[in-house]
Amino acid sequence: MLSKKIEEALNKQIRIEAESSQVYLAMACWAEVQGFEGVAQFMFAHSDEERMHMLKLVKFVNERGGHAQISDLAAPPTEFGSFKNMFETLFNHEVMVSQSINDLVHITLEERDYATHNFLQWYVSEQIEEEALARNILDKINLIGDDKGGLYLFDNDVKQLVAAGPDAPQ
C-alpha cells in the first residue's frame, strides 16, 4: 500500500514523464517539417519511450492501491531554433528528470517504502542511459556546428541509431 506522500510524488513523476513525451513529440515535428527524417524518427521513438515510462508508473500506482492521476500538461515549445539548441534542451530536460527521480528515491527511503524504492531502480538506470545518449548526441552536434553537410550526415547517423533500437551501444 502506498502512503499519500509517495502516491503524490509518483503522480508528480507521471506528469513529468507525460510532459517529456510531449516535449519530444514537439521536437519530432520541428525536425520533420525541416526535412530531417533521422532526427524526427529519433524524437518520435523517444516520445513513445517516455509514454512507456509514464505507463509503467501508472500501472504501479494503481497496483499498489493508489490512484494514478492523468492531468493536464504544459504545452511544449513549437520552435527550437537550431539542432544544437534542441539537443541542449533535451539534455537539460533529462538532467531535470534524473533530479526528480533522485528526489523520489529519497522520499521512498524517508517513508521506508522499499517496494517503491526497488521499483524506482529501473528509472535510476534508465536515466543514466538517457543522459549518456543525450550527451553523446550533443557532443556530435557541437562538432558539426551549423555546417549543412555535417547536419545531413548527422541526420543519417541518428537514423541508424533508431534502426539499431534504444538498447544499442552508442
Chain residues in the site for ligand FEO (CB under 6 A): 17, 20, 50, 53, 94, 97, 130
State the cell numbers at 97: 528528470
> What are the start-end ranges of the E strands in the chain?
none
Beta carbon of residue 28, minimum distance to ligand FEO (angstroms, whole number):
14
Beta carbon of residue 23, minimum distance to ligand FEO (angstroms, whole number):
9
Q: Are 58 and 74 in contact (CB under 8 A)?
A: no
Beta carbon of residue 123, minimum distance to ligand FEO (angstroms, whole number):
7
Pick 41 or 151: Cβ nearer ligand FEO: 41
Pick 95 or 144: Cβ nearer ligand FEO: 95
Beta carbon of residue 61, minimum distance to ligand FEO (angstroms, whole number):
16
Pick 15 or 53: Cβ nearer ligand FEO: 53
Please list, residue by residue across 66-105, b when 16 or more beta carbons sit within 10 angstroms of its beta carbon and e when fewer do.
bebeeeeeeebeeebeebeebbbbbbebbeebbebbeebb
